[in-house]
């Protein structure tokens, strides 16, 4: 009986290796964050290494992404990351959302919540140094200052939810 269960399980594991979600790879940059706001080279490099895999439309897939069910788990994580913040679609968002996302970037980086711990374990180069954190925080704060100087305050506030 156990042998039949193990054989069935092995068959299922082999069969699911042929079912993969679509890759998150798009070179369309027309609505990218950097089309609206200047991104210094050092910040752009840090964002590319530590953030873009989950927060853009262009993911660098590691070797283990070809193994199921890991591929599905990564795909769900990417979808959730892009739902929360997508640098590739940033220019399509309302000003209030753009401003709020910069505020969230500052908060998440300050508190060490981003990048996620398990991501930095697997991608050691994504762990932010104190200098990189300060660069990202300063850059995001600068964008918020630019928005505050250019637009009325009420256009930068998120609407209250009922």
Cis-peptide into 58, omega within 30 deg: no
Longest CA–CA span in the chain (Å) reads 72
> pLDDT tens digits for the chain (162 residues)?
888 887 877 777 776 677 777 776 777 778 888 888 999 999 999 998 888 888 999 888 878 778 888 788 888 888 898 899 999 999 899 889 999 999 999 999 999 888 877 777 777 788 889 999 999 999 999 999 999 988 788 888 877 776
- Encode burial over 65-102: b for 16+ CB neighbours within 10 A, e otherwise: beebeebeebbebbeebbeebbbbbbbebeebebbbbb
What is the distance between the alpha carbons of residues 115 and 51, in angstroms, rounded to a whole number? 7
Q: Would you state the pLDDT for residue 136? A: 95
Q: Would you state the pLDDT for residue 53? A: 84
- In the numeric block, the tokens 């220019």 are attached to 91
Whole-number CA gyration radius for the chain: 19
- Give the global pTM: 0.80
């Amino acid at each position: 009986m156990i042998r039949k269960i193990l054989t069935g399980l092995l068959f299922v594991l082999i069969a699911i290796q042929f079912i993969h979600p679509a890759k998150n790879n798009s070179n369309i940059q027309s609505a990218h964050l950097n089309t609206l706001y200047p991104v210094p080279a050092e910040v752009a490099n840090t964002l590319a290494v530590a953030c873009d895999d989950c927060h853009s439309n262009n993911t660098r897939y590691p070797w283990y992404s070809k193994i199921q069910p890991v591929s599905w788990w990564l795909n769900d994580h990417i979808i959730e990351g892009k739902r929360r913040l997508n640098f590739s679609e940033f220019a399509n968002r309302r000003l209030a959302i753009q401003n709020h996302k910069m505020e969230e970037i500052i908060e998440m980086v300050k508190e060490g919540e981003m990048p996620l711990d398990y991501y930095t374990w697997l991608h050691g180069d994504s762990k932010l140094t104190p200098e990189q954190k300060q660069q990202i925080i300063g850059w995001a704060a600068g964008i918020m200052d630019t928005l505050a100087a250019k637009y009325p305050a009420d256009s930068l506030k998120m609407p209250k939810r009922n």
